Structure formats: C-alpha cells, structure tokens
Amino acid sequence: RDGLTPPDLIIMDGGQGQVNVAKDVLRNELNLSIPVAGLQKNDKHQTNELLFGDPLQVIDLPRQSEEFFLLHRIQDEVHRFAITFHRQVRSKNSFSSKLDGVEGLGPKRKQKLLKHFKSMTSIQKATVEDIQALGIPEKVAQALLDKLGEDNN
C-alpha cells in the first residue's frame, strides 16, 4: 500500500484474546496475511509461553533456550518502550510554565534561567541585561519579560 514491505511475523505481548483480535484486524480490516504470535505471561507477570498457529497452540520452548531468552528480552523491551512513551506523553501534557511559548526559549534556556534566578518571581524582576548575561539574545529576553508582564495583568 505505502511501498513498505510487510513483516514476516508479528510478535505480540499478549495471550490468546489479543492475538485473535490482531489476526482478525489484519485479515478483515487491513486485508493482510501476516502470521501473529503471542507472548503469554503467567500469574506472576513473567513471560511464560509462546502461542502460534491457526488455531493457536503453545509452542514448547525450553526456558533456558536462546529462543526463549530472545522472546523474553523482546517482551521486556516492549514494556520499557511503552512505559517510557507514556511517561513522556504525561510529562509533556501535565506540566506547563510561564516560560512556555516564548520564541527562542527552549528547554536548555529555560533550565538556565531557573537555575540562575531560582524562581519565576526573580525572573520577572530581572532586566533584559540580567537575562542577556546568561547568553540569551536580547530579543528573546525582551519577549520573555513582555510575556511575563502580560501574565501578571
């Protein structure tokens, strides 16, 4: 469709229910024929078994095998990625600052301002020259003070 080669296999972090839903979506909504395997966990939330086939069957992999270890690592990486992604989304959406929205004032400059001045009140009392002394251009310093002045009115 978009010029990309579809994968040979999709490995999911999930059991029979999740695998069957994925197969259904691939087949009936996306019109794709890609095999799907599932990594099912035990009641201690640890990788327990590999599900594959049509109908789904447990593929017997020795727990000490390289194959089982690889699948366990894949599942761990998926969890790490998902947790990191959701934390980033939450942190971007839940914290805002009066320093946001000033053109030319990125994360590093904001951090520099807060580290030097210690508080928003101190930044508001600063002069353009005080802010410029931190290596922030005059236009950005003026835009910041203008914005902080507007926020107080």
3-state secondary structure of 52: strand
Structure tokens of 60?
């017997």
Q: What is the pLDDT of residues 7-66, one digit of tens each?
A: 999 999 889 999 999 999 999 999 999 999 999 888 887 778 899 998 999 998 898 999
Q: What is the pLDDT of residues 133-144, one digit of tens each?
A: 999 999 999 999
Q: How far is CA 109 from CA 36, 82, 104, 106, 143, in A?
A: 47, 29, 9, 6, 13
Q: What is the pLDDT of residues 92-133, one digit of tens each?
A: 655 567 888 889 998 899 989 989 998 888 999 999 999 999
Task: Output the pLDDT for position 96.
Answer: 62
Contacts of 42 (CB under 8 A, 6+ apart): 48
CATH of 10-94, one of 3.50.50.60, 1.20.140.10, 3.30.420.340, 2.40.50.100: 3.30.420.340
Instruction: Point out which residues pair with 50 in neighbouring strands.
Output: 39, 59
Question: What is the reported pTM?
Answer: 0.54
3-state secondary structure of 143: helix
If pLDDT is split at 50, 70 and 90, which confidence band does 152 have? low
Task: Output the pLDDT for position 129.
Answer: 96
